Amino acid sequence: MRVPFRWIFVFVTFTCGCAAFPRAGGSGEPDGERPKTLLTWAVGNEPDDKKPGEAKNGVNGNGKGSKGENEKHGKVNEDPQAAPSPAPRDREEPLASDRPDFTEASSTVGKGRIQLESGYTYTRDSSAGVTTTGHSYPEALLRVGMLADWFEFRLGQNFGNTRTGSPDGVFGANGGEDLYLGVKLGLTERKGLLPETALILQTTVPTGHEDFTASRVNPGVNFLFGSTLIEDRLTLGGSFQMNRASDDLRHSYIEFAQSLTVGYGLTKKLGAYTEWFAFYPSGAVAPGVGPQHYFNGGFTYRLTPNLQFDIRAGVGLNRQADDFFAGTGFAVRY
């Protein structure tokens, strides 16, 4: 369990050590452009397409990996007598969603924007003569940009339905899960080879049904990074998490999680991704609780800049992981 923690420490330390604070109000900001992140990289070169007076907006193949990675769309005022206009930030940017993969976006929704993401997942697992199927819905996540472009408030709610068949009979559970609360902080924009980064401070609160609640507050932290490898074609992103969790015996332990996702831009509207993610419980005492590794992939289709649909499917890579899962969903921005 020390491996994931070490990597979390390395990446967070690297980010803090290479970024300069504060971002807002810096002399390097173009006139009229609001700071999108808390920090700015103190090393590395600016991307070639980052020119004074040009704002950048989100572009990627499937809304994953380097979400919020930018393309220029500024226009230089050709009349020298005219008053300089602010950076053109009103152009509609394609949304960057936290779904359908495990890795959340490394960008925020932006001040004044609201984004709702929702979906459904079917899960199946068979082990030692026991078969469990599960249904997860609506997987609702409300993302609200407030205070600044780099600050996002997050509210999530979900319901679960499970059915377990064994030689002793069939057992089922149905009800709400614990409420999810969090804030996402945009840390840095991409600068050359240096990635876009963000940090989520999150927790669940014990509001769920007795079959699904942890019966206690479970806080956690999630560090995200993303970068563009080939503009509009290939992105890379990942996450490192550390959360408090509870096992079936209501015993608390620390769960680390890691993920790595690759996004592919197939067309202007159609994207795809493949991803590996894993969970590493540290201190759990319930039988059968151990590391879980998964591989999954899926497609996204952006119908409009503010509406995206998705499908996904994945498999477990070891005995502790669920055998199979599949789902679909959408994201809409206001």
Say what the pLDDT of residue 102 is. 97
Long-range CB pairs of 310-316, under 8 A, 24+ apart, other chains included: 310/97, 310/99, 310/100, 310/119, 311/100, 312/100, 312/101, 314/275, 316/125, 316/292
Give start and end residues of each alpha helix (H) in the chain: 2-18
Buried b (16+ CB within 10 A) or exposed e, 53-64: bbbbbbbbbbbb
Q: Number of C-alpha atoms within 13 angstroms, CB side, residue 322?
A: 16
pLDDT the model gives residue 306: 96
pLDDT at 88 (0 to 100): 45
Inform me whether the pLDDT recorded for 14 exceeds 80: no
| CA 202 to chain CA centroid, nearest Å | 12
CA dist 141 and 118 (Å) reads 6
Contact at 8 Å (CB) between 258 and 278?
A: yes
Model confidence pLDDT, tens digit, residues 228-240: 999 989 999 999 9
239 beta partners? 224, 259
- SS3 call for 285: coil
DSSP 114-142: EEEEEEEEEEEEEETTEEEEEEEEEEEEE
Confidence class for position 8, pLDDT limits 50, 70, 90: very low
φ, ψ of residue 111 to 5 degrees: the values are -60, 135
Compute the distance between CA of residue 188 and CA of residue 195 in angstroms, rounded to an integer.
8
**pLDDT at res. 59:** 35
State residue 68's pLDDT score: 43
Confidence of residue 193 (pLDDT cuts 50, 70, 90): confident
Predicted pLDDT at 250: 73
Question: What is the rounded average pLDDT of the residues 200-219?
Answer: 94
Summarize pLDDT for 241-261 with one digit per residue, the tens.
999 998 777 778 999 999 999
Tokens standing for residue 39? 């920090």
- Side chain identity, residue 187: L
**35 contacts: CB under 8 Å, gap ≥ 6:** 23, 24, 25, 26, 29, 148, 149, 150
The DSSP string of 230-262 is: ETTTEEEEEEEEEEEEE-TT--EEEEEEEEEEE
Global pTM reads 0.79
Q: 226 pLDDT exceeds 90?
A: yes
Confidence of residue 115 (pLDDT cuts 50, 70, 90): very high
Q: Which residues contact 50 (CB under 8 A, 6 or more apart)?
A: 56, 72
| Mean pLDDT, rounded, of the chain | 81
181: enclosing H helix or E strand? strand 179-188
Q: What percent of the chain has pLDDT over 70?
A: 75
Strand partners, 252: 246
**How confident is the model over 37-92, as pLDDT tens digits?**
889 888 766 554 444 333 333 333 343 444 444 333 333 344 444 444 444 444 67
pLDDT exceeds cutoff 60 at 278: yes
Residue 150's Cβ-count burial label (10 Å; 0-12, 13-18, 19+) is buried
Give the three-state DSSP class for 211.
coil
| Tokens of residue 251, six digits | 């015993």
pLDDT category of residue 196 using cuts at 50, 70 and 90: very high
Gyration radius of the chain's alpha carbons: 21
11 backbone dihedrals φ, ψ, rounded to 5°: -70, -40
Q: DSSP code of 191? A: B
Domains and CATH numbers, the chain: 1-334 (2.40.160.40)
**Which tens digit of pLDDT belongs to each residue from 285-320?**
777 788 999 999 999 999 999 999 999 999 999 999
Q: Give the per-residue pLDDT at 47.
A: 52
